[in-house]
Amino acid sequence: MTTRDLERLKGINPILIDIVIEASKTSPIPFGIPRDAGLRTAERQNELYKKHRSKCDGYVKKSYHQSGNAFDIYAIKDGKPSWNKELLTEIAEHILKVAKDMNVTLTWGGHWTKFKDMPHFQI
């Protein structure tokens, strides 16, 4: 976990930060935290919605990111960010296990049926 990754998690639920840090220590695949992956304002959420990067507009339909109860990740493959589904799935399984071991129920967007959001986790 880099300083930049931790900075991108600033403002989210501390238990989520603990899960991310712990999972990063033992993850079978390295991962990072993308820009906009943590806490978001309504304005920023709406910008992402207008770019079709979110289903939540930030005002009528709010994102868990706005309350600090969500984070996103990316896999690191050959030193570069990757959103490969297989890599994200392997990392997600690991993060979910770490959360369970910490007695936290975490929801992964890859388990959703209508809109799969592979990098997304929420509490």
Question: Of 117, 81, 95, nearest to 28 (Cα)?
Answer: 95
pLDDT above 90 (res 88): yes
Task: Calculate the alpha carbon distances from 15 to 22, 44, 73, 108, 122 in Å.
Answer: 11, 23, 16, 16, 11
pLDDT single digits (tens) 11-49: 999 999 999 999 999 999 999 999 999 999 999 999 999
* Range of the structural domain that residue 12 is part of: 3-39+68-122
Mean pLDDT, residues 1-9 taken together? 93
pLDDT above 90 (res 115): no
Statement: the pTM of the whole predicted model exceeds 0.75: yes
Q: Does residue 62 sit within a domain?
A: no
Total domains, the chain: 1
pLDDT above 90 (res 65): yes
Structural contact between residues 39 and 16, judged by C-beta atoms closer than 8 angstroms: no
Q: Does residue 45 sit within a domain?
A: no
